[in-house]
Amino acid sequence: MTSKGKYELTVSTPSDREIVMTRVFDAPRELVFKAYTDPNAVAHWWGFRDTTTVIDKMDLKPGGQWRFIGRQPDGTEYAFRGEYREIVPPERLAYTFEYEGMPGQVLVETITFEEQDGKTTLTSVSVFDSVEDRDGMLATGMAEGAAESFDQMEEYLATRS
């Protein structure tokens, strides 16, 4: 997996039900965590570069719902939703994640933020119900979308540091 950002996104499948993505950001973890948990920030970096991200819901508490809509230039929309399970600022987030284009295929994503020397390593572990669900998500371009989103997050963070 390659990205155009300063740091590369690494993607691996350590088991038949997991996808692990890791990316380093040149920013303190409090700032990276905030980029993940502030709806105004998320709208700046989440999704493909040519889409507008609309934060429909973002109730940041255990049991709170989230829903993000990606709107393409031609008006086409696609949405993702889930429920927050764990929020430990600025160390960890866990939530369910469902691409509405693949209803019923819900994964659990846990993101950790580890800082060293002013840089933050973000690790996302997605656990699926089956290998078919995992492979189906990979086939949607999920890794490419994540790489592009993280490149945009890097750009956003540079304006906040």
Give residue limits of the domains in the chain: 10-38+86-158
* Burial of 39 per CB tally in 10 Å (0-12, 13-18, 19+): middle
Report the predicted TM-score, pTM, of the whole model to 2 decimal places: 0.92
Question: What per-residue confidence (pLDDT) applies to 135?
Answer: 92
Full DSSP string of 33-97: HHHHH-HHHHHHHSS-TTSEEEEEEE--STT-EEEEEEE-TTS-EEEEEEEEEEEETTTEEEEEE
Query: Three-state SS for 143?
Result: helix
Question: What per-residue confidence (pLDDT) applies to 4?
Answer: 57
For the domain bounded by 10-38+86-158, which CATH number is listed?
3.30.530.20
Question: What per-residue confidence (pLDDT) applies to 1?
Answer: 43
139: CB partners within 8 A, 6+ apart: none
Question: What per-residue confidence (pLDDT) applies to 105?
Answer: 87
Q: Note down pLDDT in tens along the chain; length 161 residues.
A: 445 567 799 999 999 999 999 999 999 999 999 999 999 999 999 999 999 999 999 999 999 999 999 999 999 999 999 999 999 999 999 999 998 988 888 999 999 999 999 999 999 999 999 999 999 889 888 899 999 999 999 999 999 96
